[in-house]
Amino acid sequence: MSPVSTQLTGTVLVITIDHPPVNALSHAVRAGIVRALEAAPANTSAAVLQCAGRTFFSGADISEFGKPPQAPTLSEAIEALENAPFPVVAAIHGQALGGGLEIALGCDFRVMDAKARVGLPEVTLGLIPGAGGTQRLPRIAGMALALEMASQGKPISAAKALETGIADAIAESDLVASALAFAKSKSRNDKRSTGARPNPETDASAVDYWRAHAAKRQRGQKAPLAAIDAVEASATLDIASGLKRERELFLERMSDTQSAAMRHLFFAERKSAKLPGPRTDPLPLERAAVIGSGTMGVGIAASLLSAGLSVKLLDMSDQALQAGYNRIKTIFQNDVTKGRLSEAGCSEILGRLAATTQYSDLSDSDIVIEAVFEDIEIKHKVFAQLANVVGEQTVLATNTSYLDVDAIAERVANPERVLGLHFFSPAHIMRLLEVVRGKKTSAMVLASAMQLGKRMRKVAAVSGVCHGFIGNRMLSCYGREAGLMLLEGASPRQIDKALTDFGMPMGPFTMGDMAGLDIGYMNRQKLDPESFEQRAFLVHDRLVEMDRKGQKTGSGFYRYEKGDRTPLDDEAFDDVLRAVRSEQGISLREFDDSDIVDRCMLGLINEGAKILDEGIAWRGSDIDVVYANGYGFPRYRGGPMFYADTIGLDAVLAGIRANAERFGDRWWTPSNLLLRLAESGERLSAYETQSGALS
């Protein structure tokens, strides 16, 4: 059945698209729109184009990308709208995104629901608008707004769309009724093709501004600059030439690895939220408790409050609670200041927050998340106290970064309700949530955690239990290689720069200084010294022992001026490095930046493949989701597993083997999965384990 149906209301033709879940502009939709226009009765005075379900068109159908195009293309469907002998009114609810906005711009008028938004998010997929967005939008709304929308990808509100001429009217109540009334007031004489409008005025300063902005804030990405080029061309080219130029730039982006990487992440992020096996209904989680009102507890509580839950914050002292409460209040008040939240909304949210020092007050909780000091004995105590007061079905979660979730669950009655919820700091901002399934965690509890993640607008990925779970276990290999290269002759500055040039937001040494070097130091004290490469951290340990703990003490790998986070070179650090190198009798060598990147990336990839082979991660794409959302891995490289596929698994294996030969195979034994996939020609980022299916 066609997703497109029509109905006549007097002489107004209402074209309705019903293509769940989000009305992507798939082939059947495009074909249906063209057919509907062709079949319009001869006396049609105007038409309304509307979508059923939760949103107007969400854009081109991304799953069709990379396949041979099928006529009518989106541009042809838009042309059919522009050339229809009657005006067409787009009735926009939900979001009109990408091709969805482009189709609306091909209509003669746009009526929007007051809550609707419109945007050109193609850059988030490594693309630029490819169906006229960069040419029609500036003709309607001017260059400056078109440059911003096409290069930044952020949607704008209906109010802003009205103010800038994108929308012609906002529906007072019923959108369809308003659009219909609007269409009834128009006749064939009101036809006005956007393409026939004059060129927008050139805005050189806006072009320069957005180019500089893209170079700085979207470092390494090609799509924002291409989008700016396309919009800039709209000022000088006639519409046909402008559309042709846009098409060329669009196709260049589409064939680039950056877009393949970002499209991979788009689907990976949606897949990571899905559990394998039969669908399980989640538990309703409405009343939450958070133990610990430090930085993590505060961020977790804020995330839960934003998701609409009521939250009880527990800490040992009134003073600690008051400090935590104040920090949560500040988070939401900042949202009010920035115009993201109303005063009333802020009061409603804070009205759902309570504080207590008594475990007995948590008895009615649906879920409790502990965020206390990272010490297994303390965690055991917290869980023992909790188990005494909460119901048997209450979900018990630990926000540990490294500790054994199974060991914590073991001492609790009904261990199937215990799991890890590993938030990243600051928890109310970072998008990643690693959901750690213990050996006994039930499918229902896991499904509940995934749904909670979605409510908190996080990207959730499931990890099995191991030291550091997916993200930190892999990070330890990356950090190890960085530490070893430091001993072998590279400077922190060179290593940091090589990795930021690769696209990481920060290098490992700047990051270490920022996080505090004492954290890793304390963690290492608890580890079996045989379980990690101690040499890699000799410099780190020496710095901590000299009270050079990073930014907080004014020095670490770098030196910092008071009140300034800029890492400065420091001769005192150079002395430390020289001393450690000479104690180790290391003969120094020169590194080039590609050596540095390769060693760190191969470390990540090999460990990621081992994690996948062990079933700790279910899917290669889940690992990419973890790295892109929790560790700042450049999205345009798709995550470590996708990056491995980009360079080729044979080349990855050759690199790992070369490292094993040079540095010994203690840390460089190739993962068996890598060997198998390189042999079979399969992709690491598409690999899914069979062993992870939930019973």
Angle 538-545/571-583 helices, nearest 10 degrees?
130
* Residue closer to ligand 3H9 (CB basis): 27 or 524: 27
* Residue closer to ligand 3H9 (CB basis): 24 or 403: 24
Integer Cα distance of 658 and 681 in angstroms: 21
| Residue 38 among the catalytic residues | no
User: What is the smallest separation between the CB atom of 70 and ligand 3H9, expressed in angstroms?
Assistant: 12
Strands 88-92 and 46-51: parallel
User: What is the smallest separation between the CB atom of 226 and ligand 3H9, expressed in angstroms?
Assistant: 12
User: What is the smallest separation between the CB atom of 121 and ligand 3H9, expressed in angstroms?
Assistant: 4
What letter represents residue 81's amino acid?
L
Integer Cα distance of 637 and 372 in angstroms: 35
* Residue closer to ligand 3H9 (CB basis): 6 or 55: 55
* Residue closer to ligand 3H9 (CB basis): 265 or 486: 265
Q: 24 φ, ψ to 5°? A: -65, 150
- Assess contact for 398 and 420: CB atoms under 8 A: yes
User: What is the smallest separation between the CB atom of 683 and ligand 3H9, expressed in angstroms?
Assistant: 19
Q: Is 54 helix (H, G, I), strand (E, B) or coil?
A: coil
Structure tokens that stand for 530 in this block: 């045989």
Q: Tell me how far CA of residue 558 lies from CA of 247, 508, 562, 588, 591, in angstroms.
A: 47, 12, 13, 21, 20
CB atoms within 10 A of CB 421: 26
* Residue closer to ligand 3H9 (CB basis): 55 or 293: 55
Residues forming contacts to ligand 3H9 in the complex (CB under 6 A) are 21-22, 24, 55, 58-63, 74, 95, 97-99, 102, 121-122, 125, 127, 129-131, 133, 270
DSSP conformational letter for 279: -
Integer Cα distance of 639 and 617 in angstroms: 14
User: What is the smallest separation between the CB atom of 456 and ligand 3H9, expressed in angstroms?
Assistant: 13
Q: To 10 degrees, the CA torsion angle through 313, 314, 316, 318?
A: 40
Catalytic residue among 82, 102, 148, 416: 102
User: What is the smallest separation between the CB atom of 60 and ligand 3H9, expressed in angstroms?
Assistant: 4
Q: Is 30 helix (H, G, I), strand (E, B) or coil?
A: helix
* Residue closer to ligand 3H9 (CB basis): 150 or 644: 150
What letter represents residue 212's amino acid?
A
CA within 13 Å, CB half, 670: 19
Strands 24-25 and 59-60: parallel
Integer Cα distance of 501 and 219 in angstroms: 9
Catalytic residue among 38, 76, 79, 122: 122
Taking alpha carbons only, the member of 576, 306, 355, 330 closest to residue 453 is 306
| Residue 102 among the catalytic residues | yes
* Residue closer to ligand 3H9 (CB basis): 25 or 206: 25
* Residue closer to ligand 3H9 (CB basis): 106 or 550: 106
User: What is the smallest separation between the CB atom of 125 and ligand 3H9, expressed in angstroms?
Assistant: 6
Taking alpha carbons only, the member of 645, 680, 650 closest to residue 264 is 645
Q: Is 281 helix (H, G, I), strand (E, B) or coil?
A: coil
User: What is the smallest separation between the CB atom of 114 and ligand 3H9, expressed in angstroms?
Assistant: 18
| Residues forming the active site | 102, 122
